[in-house]
Amino acid sequence: MSLRHALLGLLSDRQASGYDLLKTFDTSLANVWPATQSQIYTELSKLADAGLISVAAEGPRGRKEYTLAPEGLAELRHWLTETAPQRNTRSDILLRVFFLGVLTPDQARDYLTGLADLSAREHADLAALADTIDWGEDGLSVHGRIALEYGLRFNAMRRDWAEWAAAQIT
């Protein structure tokens, strides 16, 4: 049910069309809550039907700019403050670690060093991204910066762990 709240959250910053939102999902939210085009348009329709958002303006090419309704903002705040975040930790990467025993030690080590490399690469990508953005003082910048810092720390942690783990394989 979080896709709905992700959309409400983005619309709380500024009004946008489905197309705009899709772009945002593919860039800044890609690593946090991926969503496809069909999902986004479907959910926008539902949100409009429910009265949580409304069409503020129509532009060329059938463009519909949605804006957050007061009820939508209330729902967003309710979600943030009243509902417990569920740690949705489904991780393909970590699942594989449990079963490395069916491989040869060499293969298992390869997997772990591959993970270390991947983490190092993602860390570098995020660091590069951080440089390109000029961080203003507005809300979304502050919190975007905080989320990005999470990504940096996470990848550094995972790189170190994967290197340590590879060394554990005898």
d(CA 113, CA 25) in angstroms, rounded, equals 30
- Of residues 47 through 76, those in contact with a second copy by CB under 8 A are 73, 76
Q: Which stretch binds DNA (CB under 7 A): 17-25, 115-123, 129-137, 153-161?
A: 17-25
Among 20, 71, 110, 163, interactor with DNA by CB under 7 A: 20
Q: Which stretch binds a second copy (CB under 8 A): 15-23, 41-49, 53-61, 158-166?
A: 158-166
Q: How many CB atoms lie within 10 A of CB 139?
A: 10
DSSP one-letter code for 27: T
Angle, alpha carbons 121-123-128 (nearest 5°): 95
| Closer residue to DNA, CB minimum distance, 22 or 100 | 22
Site string for DNA, 117-136 (x = CB under 7 A): --------------------
> Which residues touch 58 (CB under 8 Å, ≥6 apart)?
64, 65
Evaluate whether 56 touches 17 at the Cβ level (below 8 Å): no
Which of a second copy, DNA, none lies near 113, with the C-beta cut-off 5 to 8 A by kind? none
Evaluate whether 116 touches 163 at the Cβ level (below 8 Å): yes
Q: Specify the 3-state DSSP secondary structure of 68.
A: strand
In the complex, which residues of this chain contact a second copy (CB under 8 A)?
Answer: 2, 5-6, 9, 12-13, 28-29, 31-34, 73, 76-77, 79-81, 85-103, 107, 111, 118, 138-140, 142-147, 149-150, 153-154, 157-158, 160-161, 164-165, 168-169
